[in-house]
Structure 1
Amino acid sequence: MSAAPERDDDETRIVVIDDYPDAVASLVAALQEHGCTVRSASDGLSALELIERFEPHCVLLDIQMPGLDGLTLAQRLRDRHGNDIVLIAITGGSPADKTVAATFDLVDHWFTKPIDIKKLMQLVRAG
């Protein structure tokens, strides 16, 4: 028996995944200031479990993480959820990097660090 989803249908639910704690903390705080309900994970595997419980509208994922990287995570989320979740990649890496470029092709939107929170919120609110 699985646990009931952790959600309220009127809220904007977002999951932030990044292995850099300061990046997670600042992004979570900014999103919460804009009225979003946010959960975070520091790696791809724990993010998969969190996403199943929390049922987010949007997932913000770092690409270059140890273990399950952002590309593999995005592939798994697309396989499981199709286009039901908006995927936004966040990276400090170069778009010329093959993994970064492949991730950009798979997600709905992408940002390079540092993130423009106003542009991010426009995407989140539109979705």
Structure 2
Amino acid sequence: MKAIKGVKILLVDDEAHILQFLEMGLINEGYEVKTAPDGHAALESLEKFAPHVIILDVMMPGMDGFEVCKRIKETADHTAVIMLTAKDDVRDRVKGLTLGADDYLVKPFNFEELLARIGARLRNQFPDLLGEVVHGPFQIDDRRKEIKYREEPLALSPTEYELLKFMVLNHGIVLSKTMILDRVWGYDFGGEENIVEVYIRSLRDKLRDKEHRLIRTLRGAGYRVDLI
């Protein structure tokens, strides 16, 4: 994905060489970039710089990344947070995501993967910056709340639109029912999990996906969109 003019990224890390490497790489990609060496500087930049995406290291002296993430989400919930850590520990990842982090990368990481994850966060959280987004046979126009499949507009209810958009934007990733419910129906949804199955069935009908090649079911894990 090419960088979009006007997209602002804040880098937060206490290791100067990492900040320099990421700053140079992201500027070369066309992003507007600011850096912060610690949590306090990050929170100051949050108000002044108003970034779309924050790349946030976990292991920092003083205020760690978890506390910074918590404070960011309390005041700027729309800001996308991608957490970086040297710890390949499931508990750390769960803690970060529970505090509101939108994605997680374990150091060392591939710069191309970071770019892909930044792109995914922009598509998910700032679709107006993108206008129409194309993924394989899908065209998503969030301003018109319209999705086309192979150039043909789909007749979708508002919930079907949000569900298909979420799945297409995260294509190739296994999405559990719980994750889908949280992102599409909301954390306070009090209904049954089988509502997801009902909507998936409806989407498959509208996509003529009788063989489930487009929206795949992974038994015991969830669903995955494969672009075909």
Asked if TM exceeds 0.5, the reply is yes
Separation of aligned partners in 2, 1:125 and 1:101: 22
Shift of 1:121: 1.5
Aligned: 1:103 with 2:83:
no
Q: Give deviations 1:95-126, integer Å, cap 9, x for gaps.
A: 24x55541143311111112222122122233
**Corresponding pairs, count:** 117
Unaligned runs of 5+ in 2: 123-228
State the partner residue of 2:143: none
Q: What secondary structure, in the 3-state scheme, does the structure 2 residue paired with 1:90 have?
A: strand
Instruction: Give the CA RMSD over aligned residues.
Output: 1.7
- Greater RCO, 1 or 2 (C-alpha within 8 Å, sep 6+): 1
Identity across the alignment (%): 27
Which structure: larger Rg?
2
Aligned: 1:68 with 2:52:
no
Q: What secondary structure, in the 3-state scheme, does the structure 1 residue paired with 2:83 have?
A: strand
Q: Give deviations 1:61-116, integer Å, cap 9, x for gaps.
A: 0001011100000000011112x1110001111324x5554114331111111222
Q: What secondary structure, in the 3-state scheme, does the structure 2 residue paired with 1:51 have?
A: helix
Out of 26, 42, 64, which is 1:31 matched to? Answer: 26
Aligned: 1:85 with 2:79:
yes
TM-score by length of 2: 0.48
Unaligned runs of 5+ in 1: 1-8
